Amino acid sequence: MSLEMKRLDKNNFCIGFLLVHLLLGHAQSAQLKTNCFTEQCGAELMGQVNDVYWESATAYRQFSDDVLSPEILMREKLRPFYETLKKFDWKSFQDPLLKRQFEVVLRGDIYPPLNYEFKKATNTLKSMAKQKFVCNRKKPHRLQSGQCTDFAFIHQIKSKIANSDDLEEIKWYWAEWRSRMPAQIKDALHYYIHYYQNMSTPEMSASAIWYDQYEDPNFLDELEELMDAIQPFYKEMHAHLKHALRQRYGDEVIPSTGLIPHHLMEQAMYQSWKKQSVLRNPFPQRKLPNVQHELDDLEWFPFDLVNISCSFFGSMGFNNLTEDFMRDNFIEMEPAEGGPDCKSRIFTYAEIELNYCPKVYYKKLLQTHGDITHIQYAILKNNLSVGLNQEAAPGFGNAMGEAVILSASTPKHLQERLGLLTTYDYDDILNLNRLYRMAVHTVLSIPTYFVHEKLWIDMIDNKVAPENYN
């Protein structure tokens, strides 16, 4: 049977399976009409919610298309329970875990039911960086026709900004990608803004809904305090970058006062780990070792990176992942999958699956440590009941993954645990070069992320007029 036929059969099976689940969901919603609202009845009802949640999580895994997150899909699956759950005086329950389950599950009630427009807008925004709507600058006839379908941001434009030495080319592609943004992308952004605005109430702003899972009404204030804390160091890095850009491009391009042109700021961030970066190491005579050369000599296979990452957690006392588990749940991707960064795909709801990169290079060695962090975290979460299995906060798993990557990338770990770079003496000077590259990668990008976050919050809270959206 061909691969296409197998996928078709699988999809047909999954669609049928989901229809059965939807019918069961409606049947269950009819059974929820009860006059018992004691804590014991609440516990029994939450047991039903838990069963539906985990059964549905397994079913959704079979046809996941990566458009809507599992969190959104599970929130929708539990919708038939919300009206009954709200009838309980759950805030007075004695069991703190049951009280917590009610609190978390009922958060889904504030969101409107899913519809086609929501999925369409989500898909448009998630795929915008892959859409080709910019012309090749070297084909002027395409520009004149206005039919620009040559370049996408993620595959071509980002590479040109990162690698080009032509100032006009960098600026041109930076501006074209923004000025030629298709109407459907702008419409999708407007849809999302209105989506959150329409949920807001006099008691709960759109931004409060956005940050609801952080359980902190002053979350943005805390982010601003964090920015104030790193501002002195950031100003020094900014001045340092400006000086380096003036040395490379001259005073006419980079004046002594004012802002750094954004396309050059963007280039510096993309070049954070590149040898040809405008920001040179403080001790250029002491070059950082090329780990890739050693990896090539070792002739490791892609799955070796997975095994090494699993061993990292075993060394810290986590349960070792068995060979059977890895064989059944870890799948090597096809060479064309994963995009230019060969990004792994991970599914951690009910069933666990890691589709890992089929290439061996240093960046992927570190990223695989982050991937296994998600797997280990998921194994622990999946042993908990619905409402207790949420991340501590959105992105918490990613933060732990980054922390593990930082640990795995230290010279001590590479040398003593992995047997890499054993001929290098990581003295203070070489270590300063390494820390400098980390600072370039991190400190220059955090304020940009914050500005994007602050702008988004101001838009959904109606503090920015629609005509000023960019």
Distance CA 401, CA 442 (A): 15
In order of 111, 152, 201, 372, the CA distances from 18 in angstroms are 22, 35, 34, 30
Residue 195 among known ligand-binding residues: no
DSSP assignment letter at 375 = H
- Token pair 């009845």 is found at 41
Give the DSSP letter string of 425-470: ---HHHHHHHHHHHHHHHHTTHHHHHHHHHHHHHHHTT-S-GGG--
- Residue 95's SS3 state is coil
**Hey, is 7 helix, strand or coil?**
helix
Helix (H) or strand (E) holding 22: helix 3-31
DSSP track, 208-254: HHHTGGGT-TTHHHHHHHHHHHHHHHHHHHHHHHHHHHHHHH-TTTS
Give yes or no for a contact between 413 and 407, defined as CB atoms under 8 angstroms apart: yes
Buried/exposed 288-326: b ≥16 CB within 10 Å, e otherwise: bbebeebbeeeeeebbebbbbbbebbeeeeeeebeeeeb
Cα distances from 394 to residues 113, 310, 320, 400, 441, in angstroms, run 21, 24, 26, 12, 22
- Indicate the pairing of strand 353-356 with strand 345-347: antiparallel
214 marked as binding residue? yes
Hey, what are 50's tokens? 């838990």
Q: Do residues 39 and 98 make contact, with C-beta atoms less than 8 angstroms apart?
A: yes
Contact call for residues 369 and 309 (beta carbons, < 8 A) = yes
Helix (H) or strand (E) holding 50: helix 39-61
What's phi and psi for 320, nearest 5 deg?
A: -70, 140
Q: How many CA atoms lie within 13 A of 469 on its CB side?
A: 18
**Binding-site residue positions for chloride:** 214
**Binding-site residue positions for Zn(2+):** 374
**Binding-site residue positions:** 214, 374
